[in-house]
Amino acid sequence: MLSLFKPKAQEHRKLPAIAQVRSFVDDLTIALFPVIDCGRSRKIKTKKLRKKLGSILSPLEKRLDDPPSVIAERFIGRLDDVRKDALSDARFIAEGDPASEGVEEVIMAYPGFFGILVYRLANRLFKMGVPLVPRIMTEYAHSITGIDIHPGATIGTPFFIDHGTGIVIGETAWIGDRVKIYQGVTLGALSVSKSAASSKRHPTIEEKVIIYAGSTILGGKTVIGHHSVIGGNVWLTKSVPPHAKVYNESKVSIKENNKK
């Protein structure tokens, strides 16, 4: 019979509470875009956000370059930049989706927007050297949307995710401005070896690329040139030049039944 791992009480104190991080993400998104709160007009003050983040980071203090309060102050001070980038994403999505009725709908109802927004918030903390918390943030978004973006990925502005379910973007992926990605796309690594952890393992997607549903692009040396179109269900492990069109050729047969 397997015994469950039971960490000691002092070990719990060295880790942030997952529920607290998720609550912080909810507060952040509402603070940036109050319309997400469905008209309840719950005001989230920056003082509360700073205090909450400081509390989350407190168990990690020995692993941080700066005190939790300093990191919290710096992070909250940059939220306007995140909001600006996220609004650009929302407009880009609204402009590119014929089904969209406008930016407000995108902000309130689109999983792609939520996944990108949480990534942009987590990426800020990741760049500040904060361990674990950025991953909890993006995994929270993953659990809600099916969109798995590592907080260490580099993603330009604006960025478009449509539908979103099943999208995977790895830690060292680099994505340029005005890129569009559809459901089921994977930007992954060719190797899962731990020895390659510090190397660039995921592809580079240059600006104004469109990647349609179900495509898989692998490898740190793989570069998709700007203005390229990658069709659905394509498997790529080598680079593509700018302005290329890559399609997966498949034969579809339709037989009509003429019997009455």
Question: How far out from the chain centre does Cα 31 lie?
Answer: 19
Q: Do 141 and 35 fall into the same domain?
A: yes
Asked whether residue 240 falls in the same domain as residue 176, the answer is yes
DSSP secondary structure, 71-125, as one string: HHHHHHHTHHHHHHHHHHHHHHHHHH-TT---HHHHHHH-HHHHHHHHHHHHHHH
Q: Which residues of the chain have pLDDT under 70?
A: 1-13, 38-43, 259-260
65 and 135 belong to one structural domain: yes
The answer to the question of residue 157 being in a domain is: no
In a domain, 72, yes or no: yes
Instruction: Quote the pLDDT of residue 194.
Output: 72
Q: Residue 210: which residues within 8 A CB-CB, separation 6 or more? A: 179, 180, 228, 229, 230
Question: Looking at the structure, do residues 40 and 120 belong to the same domain, yes or no?
Answer: yes
Domain that holds residue 188: 166-248
d(CA 19, CA 164): 24
Let me know whether 63 and 106 are in one domain. Answer: yes
Does 154 fall in a domain? no
Residue at token pair 């674990």: 132
- The answer to whether residue 153 is domain-embedded is no
- pTM for the complete prediction? 0.90
Task: Indicate whether 43 and 138 sit together in one domain.
Answer: yes
Residue linked to tokens 């973006």: 149
CATH of the domain at 113: 1.10.3130.10
Q: So what's the pLDDT on residue 243?
A: 98
Burial of 60 (0-12, 13-18, 19+ CB in 10 A): middle
Does 7 map to a domain?
A: no
pLDDT in tens, 187-212: 999 977 777 777 899 999 999 999 99
